[in-house]
């Protein structure tokens, strides 16, 4: 594994320090100038507020860059030293992993949300100061866009405050690892402990995810994205000794998944364990990063397919308690599965929200750009952002109002989808189905919704239904295979 040299790190740190110094000087100059004008009485209150807001934005960004560059340089130097001492053993490159545990990640998350939230609030001050005078003439889209910045800032700071309060309530939260590293093609075992007594028989939802975290774009348009490559879920019961609580953790990790790789900050593979439990007051929630690698103990037969096949056998026809799929006998004597409208309100709400934001932003910037630069320039955001928003809203209509009925009759699948009076029907013989595949469709945080796709003998892939949660999707796939009589053929 390549190790970054200290000289390269120092050059990068020096560049960021120089940029930060420029921002800090500009901010300080703006602040001093505003203060002098305020003392002299040559500016009004609005100009004073705007001046100090700009000064805080630039000075804060500059100081933040300087501090971050120095801290990151020190951390990088320590990491490089650790890497040189333990070549080829990346599970020893983090202090907590080397000591046999994983720390909770909520402190770093809370700090980042606070910084971004403050930046949004400061950025919104100039817009809010100039906005009231034109409020009556403002278009509703302008009002929405202007209100978006302070609302986002308040929400982010509120989330960081919740994380801080949670860390005060649930103290000394850590995940003790039973083996170092955890093995691809093996069993991951550990125990989460916290200095807090959980209620008797409290249940905890565990989610183990393999995540591709990457940065797209360049320059000022860089954005970080996370895509879940593989995931498994469990619900366990916590225990306590009167002073601390303990949560048992055990998962099978597939051999053909990707191992932890954090060498490139812009393109990482992370393994995350998310723990959640409903509690009086603040709920328990913690995220841990795990060292998962391929070792000599890895079992190449423990693949994703093998784990899914084992899980199917364990389901044994037991329908998940939270499932909203309605089952019964059809009028033709077959087995019926009914997927009602608004089955997943959270998904529908998220898609509606993003669709409205994209459409609103496209119209707002399109109209503004058209008035300033001409209608051709205005069409660009309307076409791309607005068009994407319309597609999302159309999908949202289906999520809110669409229904799907799947009937298994005479070893055939009869699929009928209906929305706003429009319907489509398909008949698929069991003999033409080569595989039943779960494909992730939508993702929000660590929550993933799946499509059930039918891989046909002619190479086509047909989506039988969508918007299923993991356990629900696994149960439905097992039921279809059983009712079609293809379990033995495909398993």
pLDDT tens, residue by residue, 397-412: 999 999 999 999 999 9
- Ramachandran region, residue 177 (left: φ > 0; alpha: ψ -120 to 50; beta: rest): beta
pTM of the model: 0.76
Mean pLDDT, to the nearest integer, of 423-452? 89
CB 344 within 8 A of CB 399: yes
What does the pLDDT look like over 356-387, one tens digit per residue? Answer: 888 887 887 788 777 777 788 888 888 998 89
Cβ burial, residue 213 (10 Å; 0-12/13-18/19+): middle
Summary mean pLDDT of the chain = 84
Facing residues of 293 across strands? 183
- The three-state secondary structure class of 220 is helix
Q: Is the pLDDT of residue 9 over 60?
A: no
CATH number of the structural domain 304-340+402-490: 2.30.29
Tally of CB atoms within 10 A around 58:
21
For residues 491 and 487, give the distance between their C-alpha atoms in angstroms, rounded to a whole number.
6
pLDDT in the model for residue 221: 64
For residues 356 and 122, give the distance between their C-alpha atoms in angstroms, rounded to a whole number.
25
For residues 350 and 354, give the distance between their C-alpha atoms in angstroms, rounded to a whole number.
6
pLDDT bin (cut points 50, 70, 90) of residue 5 is very low
CB 270 within 8 A of CB 260: yes
Residue spans of the domains in the chain: they are 1-88, 96-298, 304-340+402-490, 345-400
What does the pLDDT look like over 452-491, one tens digit per residue? Answer: 999 999 999 999 998 888 889 999 999 999 999 886 545 4
- The three-state secondary structure class of 338 is strand
CB 106 within 8 A of CB 165: no
pLDDT in the model for residue 489: 46
CB 84 within 8 A of CB 3: yes
The HSE-up count of residue 123 (CA atoms within 13 Å, CB side) is 17
Quote the DSSP letter at residue 104: B
Which of 210, 195, 176 has its CA nearest to residue 96?
176
Sign (positive/negative) of CA torsion 177, 180, 182, 188?
Answer: negative
- Highest mean pLDDT range out of 78-82, 105-109, 142-146, 430-434? 430-434
For residues 334 and 483, give the distance between their C-alpha atoms in angstroms, rounded to a whole number.
9
According to DSSP, the β-strands at 182-183 and 292-293 are parallel
What does the pLDDT look like over 145-191, one tens digit per residue? Answer: 667 777 777 887 887 787 778 778 888 899 999 999 999 999 999 99
Strands (E), 138-222: 171-177, 182-183, 186-195, 203-216
Q: Which CATH class is domain 96-298?
A: mainly beta
Tally of CB atoms within 10 A around 389:
21
- Whole-angstrom CA distances from 407 to 38, 69, 332 are 76, 61, 9
CB 124 within 8 A of CB 110: no
């Amino acid at each position: 594994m390549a190790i970054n040299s200290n000289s390269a790190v120092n050059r990068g740190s020096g560049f960021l320090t120089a940029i930060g110094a420029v921002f800090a000087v500009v901010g300080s100059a703006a602040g001093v100038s505003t203060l002098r004008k305020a003392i002299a009485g040559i500016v009004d209150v609005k100009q004073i507020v705007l001046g100090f807001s700009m000064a805080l934005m630039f000075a804060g960004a500059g100081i933040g860059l300087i501090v971050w560059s120095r801290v990151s340089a020190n951390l990088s130097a320590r990491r490089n030293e650790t890497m040189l001492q333990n070549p080829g053993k990346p599970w020893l490159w983090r202090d907590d992993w080397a000591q046999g545990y994983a720390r909770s990640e909520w402190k770093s998350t809370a700090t980042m949300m606070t910084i971004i939230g403050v930046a949004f609030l400061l950025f919104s001050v100039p817009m809010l100061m100039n906005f009231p005078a034109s409020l009556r003439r403002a278009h509703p889209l302008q009002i929405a866009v202007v209100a978006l910045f302070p609302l986002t800032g308040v929400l982010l700071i509120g989330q960081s405050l919740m994380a801080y309060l949670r860390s005060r309530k649930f103290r000394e939260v850590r995940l003790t690892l039973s083996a170092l590293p955890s093995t691809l093609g093996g069993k991951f075992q550990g125990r989460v402990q916290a200095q807090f007594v959980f209620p008797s028989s409290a249940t905890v939802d565990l989610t183990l995810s393999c995540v591709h975290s990457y940065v797209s774009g360049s320059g000022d348009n860089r954005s970080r994205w996370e895509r879940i490559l593989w995931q498994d879920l469990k619900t366990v019961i916590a225990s306590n000794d009167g002073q601390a609580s303990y949560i048992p953790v055990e998962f099978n990790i597939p051999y053909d998944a990707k191992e932890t790789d954090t060498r490139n900050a812009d393109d990482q593979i992370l393994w995350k364990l998310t723990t959640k439990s409903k509690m009086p007051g603040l709920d328990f929630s913690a995220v841990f990063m795990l060292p998962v690698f391929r070792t000599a103990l890895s079992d190449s037969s423990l693949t994703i397919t093998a784990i899914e096949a084992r899980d199917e056998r364990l389901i044994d026809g037991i329908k998940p308690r939270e499932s909203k799929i309605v089952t019964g006998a059809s009028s033709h004597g077959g087995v019926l599965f009914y997927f009602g409208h608004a089955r997943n309100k959270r998904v529908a709400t998220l898609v509606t929200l993003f669709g409205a934001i994209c459409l609103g932003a496209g119209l707002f910037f399109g109209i503004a750009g058209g008035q300033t630069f001409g209608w051709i320039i205005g069409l660009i955001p309307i076409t791309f952002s607005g068009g994407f928003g319309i597609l999302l809203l159309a999908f949202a209509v289906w999520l809110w109002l669409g229904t799907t009925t799947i009937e298994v009759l005479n070893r055939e699948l009869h699929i009928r989808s209906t929305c706003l009076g429009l319907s489509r029907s398909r008949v698929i013989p069991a003999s033409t189905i080569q595989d039943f595949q779960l494909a992730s469709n939508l993702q929000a945080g660590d929550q993933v919704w799946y499509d059930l796709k039918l891989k046909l003998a002619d190479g086509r892939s047909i989506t039988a239904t969508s918007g299923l949660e993991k356990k629900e999707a696994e149960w439905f796939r097992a039921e279809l295979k059983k009712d079609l009589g293809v379990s033995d053929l495909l398993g």
